[in-house]
Amino acid sequence: MRVSDVTLREGEQTSGVSYDVDQKIEAGLLLDRLDVDYIQAGFPVISEAEREVVSELSASTDATVTAMARAVPGDVEAAAAADADMAHVFATTQERQLEYMIGKSREEVLENWRDAVDLAYDHGMGARIAAVDAFRTDIDHLVDLYELFDDVDLVGFSDTVGCRTPEFVTDRLRELEARGVDLERLSVHFHDDLGLSNANALAAAGLGVGNVDVSVGGVGERAGNTALEEFVAATDVSGIGLNVDATQVVPVCREVLDVLGEEYGVRKALLGDEVYRHESGLHTGAMLEDPSVFEPWDPSRFGAKRELVFGQTSGRRAAVGLLERADREVDDATIEALLAALAEQGPMGLDPAIELARDV
């Protein structure tokens, strides 16, 4: 299955956040190193800066670079002028949004949407669509929408307000499939308002959807989106195949967030330093012999590195392991001396702890 990175667009929809052209281009080039299938590079109709980012990334990356466009001619023309590989044409499908946000009938929206996609083709671009708030839309309309756009690369269904659970997502996708929808042609987009965007994405992936939208660190509007690094790791350990280079996920995602000035916590899944740090005496003692005792996977699988920490909480087993690595004779006196030194001088990493074991 495929993944679309939406970091550059969703991240900037966060309240008070903006990225400059250089930040976006550098982040996009980093994302391309991961072999993501699509990079949603910007919204060209907004500004010359957006057009510059889309144009530069279209010329410089192997990913399919998509440009956001409302279902209006001017947006599609702007995407074409920016040399986007593909127009990502979006419109709402949700009844209340039709009434209160845009004031158009469903029939008008569909007609404008179809015209916008055809215009993208006229300009030599590919096209995919995104149905805003699709997971709160009547299923009959979703089936009609899928059938109307049987020629686009992907038909996207969004949980725009982040209100759905894995059970609902599973039931809805199965019902769509039962009504003739090919899930491989579907893309899904989730928000994390319930803390379930990653779980929802994994549920959809397990059913065979063709694409999932992700963002680095889960950055995005309100509570954010499905986190790229978490989704890649979860699919990898679940045996769901992606094109993404999982071995670079942690360092590249960290670098993208640094470039964009986005912070992440030390306990952030996959990305935080504490995720790979072990200090408990029982844990470190066992992990000197077999790291898998207290690891779900080797951190190098995703480009990270474990850190064993030794200090006041270190026990005899850890001391024995350190002394053996230091080629020292192991006896009670040496063990006690090392534990005392670790308690006094720690905490410290593995290499300094081995060096200390040589000196006690």
- Is 274 a residue whose pLDDT tops 60? yes
**Residue 82 confidence (pLDDT):** 98
Q: For residue 107, is pLDDT > 90?
A: no
pLDDT tens digits along 295-348: 999 999 999 999 999 999 899 999 999 999 999 989 999 999 999 999 999 899
245 pLDDT tier (thresholds 50, 70, 90): very high
Q: Read off the pLDDT of each residue in 31-58 and give the average, rounded to a whole number.
A: 98
Q: Where are the alpha helices (DSSP H) in the chain?
A: 7-10, 21-33, 48-60, 73-81, 95-97, 106-122, 139-148, 166-178, 197-207, 228-238, 249-260, 281-287, 316-325, 332-345, 350-359
Sign of the Cα pseudo-torsion (103, 84, 202, 177, in order): positive
Q: What is the pLDDT of residue 21?
A: 98
> Which domains occur in the chain, in start order?
2-260 (3.20.20.70), 273-359 (no CATH)
Q: Give residue 171's Cα distance to chain centre.
A: 24
Percentage of residues in the chain with pLDDT exceeding 70? 97
57 has pLDDT over 90? yes
